[in-house]
Amino acid sequence: MGENSQVAALAKVLPMAHGVNERIDWREVEEIWGTRFPADYVAFMEAYGAGSVSREVGILLPVPRSDSYSDGTGLRQETANARGTWEMLGGRAGLDVDPDFIVA
């Protein structure tokens, strides 16, 4: 994949030291999720991988790995939480989007 300008700008303030290129099969991931992931997320994952930023922001893999999540849930559980929050905050009345398109 070519260089992403947003990730290149981020690299100026956030060094790329850990998790470079998680070796994700994006075709497989898109099949599992039934959607394409944003190009900037794909580029970020190739540059940084999963982890946290200043222990405040968690970046999850799009598919669980036993060596990354002790319970094997990863992004799927957080997505279920996000969809639940969407519903709790009024569903389509609060945010007119199909909940199947919400990915944490």
**What pLDDT is recorded for position 59?**
82
Residue 18 token pair:
């850990």
**Do residues 24 and 69 touch, judged by C-beta distance below 8 A?**
no
**How many Cβ atoms from other residues are within 10 Å of residue 43's Cβ?**
19
51 DSSP β-pair partners: 59
Domain boundaries defined on the chain: 1-63, 71-104
pLDDT of residue 93: 93
Count of C-beta atoms within a 10 Å radius of residue 45: 24
pTM of the model: 0.67
pLDDT (0 to 100) of residue 19 = 57
Predicted confidence at residue 47, as pLDDT, reads 83
Q: What's the pLDDT at 86?
A: 94
pLDDT < 50 positions in the chain = 70
The answer to whether 98 touches 35, Cβ cutoff 8 Å, is: no
Residue-level pLDDT at 17: 66
Spacing of C-alpha 17 from chain mean position: 19
Residue 88 is predicted with a pLDDT of 94
